[in-house]
Structure 1
Amino acid sequence: MVKALIAHKAGGELQIGEWEKPVPKGNEILVKNKVVALNPVDWKQVREGFGSLGFVLIKYNFAVPQWPFVVGADTAGVVEAVGPDVKNLKPGDKVFAFAGVGSLNYGTYAEYSLLVENLSAKEASTIGLGTLTSAVAFYHLLKLPRPREHQSFFRPEYLLIWGGSSSTGNYAIQLAKLSGYTVITTASPHQHAYLQELGADVVIDRSDPEAVTKIREITRGRLRYAYDTISSATADLAAQALDQEHESHLAVIAGAPTGSYPKVKEANSFGVSFYEELGELLAAGVLRPNRYEVLPNGLAGIPEGHARLAAGKVSGVKLVARIDETP
C-alpha cells in the first residue's frame, strides 16, 4: 500500500489514505512521484455543479473512473518499474509528464502512479498541461507557424494573450514569441517585469478600464489573433480588441465570449507531433518553465491549493507539492 490523496465522493473533501500500489502492464510505466503540480482540472473533476473546461460547458465531477479514486495529472518523478511492452524508458529514468485524466491509478496525487508510454523518454520528460494547452490553441486551432517555422514579418504581427500571468499564459507568451509574433498581454502590475522577461513586448494592467482601447491603439485596430486564458468575461474583452472589420481569430480555454462579434472566428474544441519539438525548445533553454510555489505538507497541502485555484487567488506561479513532505 502507498500513501495517496483520495477522492471518495463527488463534492467531498480529499483525504490522505492508503492506496494499493499500481502494477504496470503492457506499455505502462510506474512512476515514483517526487513533485506534483496542481491544475484547475483537478478540483473541477471532483466538485459538484457546472462550469467550463476548455471550450465546453461541463458538469463537474467528470471523467471519474470509479469512487474512490486518486486525482492529479502533472508529475515529476523517477521510473520505478515498466511494463513488458515499454521500449524507451527504464527504471531510474527521471520524467516529468502529464499523466492524463480519468484513468484509475493514473492520478498523480500519490506516492506512485502509472503513465502510458506513448512518448520517448525525452518527450515524456518535458511535457506539461499548460504548455500543451497553448500549443493546441496556437498551432492546431489558430494555425500559427510553429517555433521552427519562425516568421519574419515586414511589420509587427501582433498576438494578444489575455491573462499572461497564468501558467498557460506564461507558456503562451514564450511560444508566441518563438513563432515570431509581437506579444501583447495583460496582468497585474507586479507581474509585468517577469512577463517581459518571458518575451512579452507590451504588458497592460488587467484592471485598466481602458485596456481594450489601448490594445486597439497599439495595433491600429488590426489585431488578427487573440488567446484568452481566463474566463468568458475576459474572452469578450479579447474579442473587442480584435479587428472588427476584417476576419480575426480568437482561441479560448475557459469560456466563450457572450457578445456578438461577426468578424471574429472563434476556435472551438494536436498532440504527439509537437512533443519532440517542445523537448528541443526546453533542452535548448529557449522555453522557460513556470515559476512555482511549493505548498506546505506535501499531499496534505493540496486541498488548500485547490481552494485558492477555485477562488482565483493564484497568479504568476504554478502550485506544486513535494510528496515526501506529506505528514
Structure 2
Amino acid sequence: MSGAVPTTMKAVIVQEGKRVQVKEHPVPPLRDDDILVKTVAVAQNPTDWKFVDFVQNVGTILGCDWSGYVVAAGKNVTSPKVGDHVAGFTQGGTFTDGGAYAEYVRIPADLSWVVPEGSISHEEAATLGCAFWTAAQALYHPTRLGLVEPPEKVNEEHWIFIYGGSSSVGQYAVQLAHLSGYKVVTTASPRNFDYVKSLGADEVFDYRDPEVVQKVKAATGDSLKEGFDTISLKESQALTAQVINPTGGKIVLLLNPIPEAKVRDDVHVGYTLIYTSLGREFNLRGSHYPVSSEDRAHMAAFLRKVPALVKEGKVKPNPVKLWKGGLTAIQDGLQYMREGKVSAEKIVYRVEETSP
C-alpha cells in the first residue's frame, strides 16, 4: 500500500505576513519507527494562529490535530497496522516535515492511538489531540500535578480546581479528573454550566463573579491543594493561586507564569508544554527545548489507555464545529478564532473537501 503514496501533497504552509497558503509540499519520508497517515479530518487550536502570527516559521506545515488511516508503516512497527483508523497530535508550524494540516502526516507509531471501530468519527477523533494530551500531561505527569491516573482512582475525597472548564483543554481536564475520582470545581460562563457539569464537574462558578474565590473555597471546604489554569492570562493565574488552601499548594499553567500574577509565595507555579511529549527537540520564541525522553514515555504510556477510554464512552470528544472547505478554508477559520468567536466547541475540517 505504501507504493500508492504520492511524493507530494497539499499542505497548509506558513507564509510571510501572518498568513498561510495551501501549496504542493513533499510527503514526509517514512522512518523505521513511524507510520504515515492519510488524513481525513484535522482540528484547529489557538496555538495554530499564534504560530502564524508570533512564531512565524515560514515554510513549515501548520496544524496539530489529525485523524486518518495508516497507509504505510516502518519496518519496526507492529502496531498500528496499515488500514487502521488512528488519531493523534503533532507540532505544527515548526518543521517542514511535520504538521497536521496536510493530506499526509508522519508520526512515530507509539505517539498515535487506534480509534476503536464503531466508536467515534474522524471529526470527533481529531479533537482528541493537543487539548486532550495537554490535559493528561498537566494532570498526571509526575513533574506537573502528579495526580492519580486512570484506570486508578484517588481513594479519598479530594478536590481539584480547573480554571476554564468549557475551554477545549478544560473539557478534557474535567473529564479526566472526574475519571480519576477527584471532586472537580471549575469556572465557566453561565451558559456553559450545564455542559461542564455533564462532563463531571461537581461545582461550577462564573469566573466573572467578584465573589468567585470565596465561593470556590466554600464549596471545597477550603481544601484545594492543586489547580490547573487552562487559560493562563494574568487574571486567571492569580485566581487559580488564590483558591488554594491556606497551607499552600501547586498550580500548573498552559503558558509561562506572569510575574505580576503572583499573589502568594506558598503556591508553587509551574507550566506544561505538550510539544515536549513528542520526542523531538525544537526552538520556540528564543528558547531551546531538548528531547525529553521522560515526557515522551509518559505520553506514549497514556496513549495506550485511550482506545479503551473512548470505546467505553468514558471520554467525550469536544463538540465539533465542522468548517466547510477543507484545507483551503483554514485561513478563514484561523481568523474566526483570532477574533475570539470560538466557545465550547472545536473547529474541524475534512481534508477531502480541499479545492484543487
Which residue of 270, 274, 278 corresponds with 2:302?
A: 274
Which whole-Å CA distance do the structure 2 matches of 1:34 and 1:163 have between them?
30
Q: State how 1:56-71 maps to structure 2 within 5 Å.
A: 60-61=55-56, 64=57, 67-71=58-62
1:5 aligns with 2:12: yes
1:21 aligns with 2:27: yes
Q: Where does the alignment leave 5 or more consecutive residues of structure 1 unmatched?
A: 49-59
Residue 132 of structure 1 is matched in structure 2 by 133
Q: CA, structure 1 residues 185+121, in 2 after alignment: closer, same or farther (shift >3 Å)?
A: closer
SS at match of 1:68: coil
Q: State how 1:254-269 maps to structure 2 within 5 Å.
A: 254-257=255-258, 258-269=261-272
Residue 313 of structure 1 is matched in structure 2 by 341
Which whole-Å CA distance do the structure 2 matches of 1:121 and 1:187 have between them?
30
Q: CA, structure 1 residues 27+104, in 2 after alignment: closer, same or farther (shift >3 Å)?
A: farther
SS at match of 1:45: helix
SS at match of 2:324: coil
Check whether the contact 1:305–1:319 (CA below 8 A) recurs between aligned residues.
yes
Deviating above 6 A after TM superposition, structure 1's stretches of 4 or more consecutive aligned residues are 123-126
Which whole-Å CA distance do the structure 1 matches of 2:9 and 2:88 have between them?
20
Deviation at 1:150, TM superposition (A): 0.5
Paired letter, 2:104: Y
Paired letter, 1:111: E
Check whether the contact 1:185–1:200 (CA below 8 A) recurs between aligned residues.
yes
Which whole-Å CA distance do the structure 2 matches of 1:259 and 1:89 have between them?
45
Give the superposed CA RMSD. 2.2
Which whole-Å CA distance do the structure 2 matches of 1:2 and 1:237 have between them?
46
Which whole-Å CA distance do the structure 2 matches of 1:160 and 1:121 have between them?
28
Q: CA, structure 1 residues 46+92, in 2 after alignment: closer, same or farther (shift >3 Å)?
A: same
SS at match of 2:332: helix
1:142 aligns with 2:145: yes
Give the number of equivalent residue pairs: 308
Which whole-Å CA distance do the structure 1 matches of 2:103 and 2:219 have between them?
50
SS at match of 1:271: helix
Check whether the contact 1:226–1:250 (CA below 8 A) recurs between aligned residues.
yes
Which whole-Å CA distance do the structure 1 matches of 2:138 and 2:113 have between them?
25
Which whole-Å CA distance do the structure 1 matches of 2:332 and 2:83 have between them?
32
Deviation at 1:175, TM superposition (A): 0.7
Which whole-Å CA distance do the structure 2 matches of 1:68 and 1:179 have between them?
42
Deviation at 1:100, TM superposition (A): 3.2
> TM-score scaled by structure 1?
0.87
Post-superposition Cα deviations, 1:195-225, rounded to whole Å, max 9, x if no partner, equal 1111111111222222112112212333211
Paired letter, 2:40: K
Which residue of 316, 323, 331 corresponds with 1:288?
A: 316
Moved more, 21-30 or 37-46: 21-30
Residue 275 of structure 2 is matched in structure 1 by none
SS at match of 2:42: strand
Residue 56 of structure 1 is matched in structure 2 by none
Paired letter, 1:40: P
Paired letter, 2:65: D
SS at match of 2:11: strand
> TM-score scaled by structure 2?
0.80
Deviation at 1:255, TM superposition (A): 4.2
% identity of equivalent residues: 35
Residue 224 of structure 2 is matched in structure 1 by 223
Deviation at 1:119, TM superposition (A): 4.4
Which whole-Å CA distance do the structure 1 matches of 2:137 and 2:115 have between them?
16
Residue 114 of structure 2 is matched in structure 1 by 122
Which whole-Å CA distance do the structure 1 matches of 2:104 and 2:112 have between them?
20
Q: Where does the alignment leave 5 or more consecutive residues of structure 2 unmatched?
A: 1-7, 117-121, 273-297
Which whole-Å CA distance do the structure 1 matches of 2:252 and 2:302 have between them?
18
Deviation at 1:177, TM superposition (A): 0.6
Deviation at 1:25, TM superposition (A): 3.0
Paired letter, 2:268: K
Residue 45 of structure 1 is matched in structure 2 by 51
1:76 aligns with 2:83: no
Residue 100 of structure 2 is matched in structure 1 by 108
Deviation at 1:151, TM superposition (A): 1.8
Paired letter, 2:52: V
Paired letter, 2:301: S
SS at match of 2:151: helix
Q: CA, structure 1 residues 276+317, in 2 after alignment: closer, same or farther (shift >3 Å)?
A: same
Paired letter, 1:310: R
Residue 297 of structure 1 is matched in structure 2 by 325
Paired letter, 2:69: V
Paired letter, 1:308: Y
Which whole-Å CA distance do the structure 2 matches of 1:121 and 1:202 have between them?
32
Deviation at 1:120, TM superposition (A): 6.8
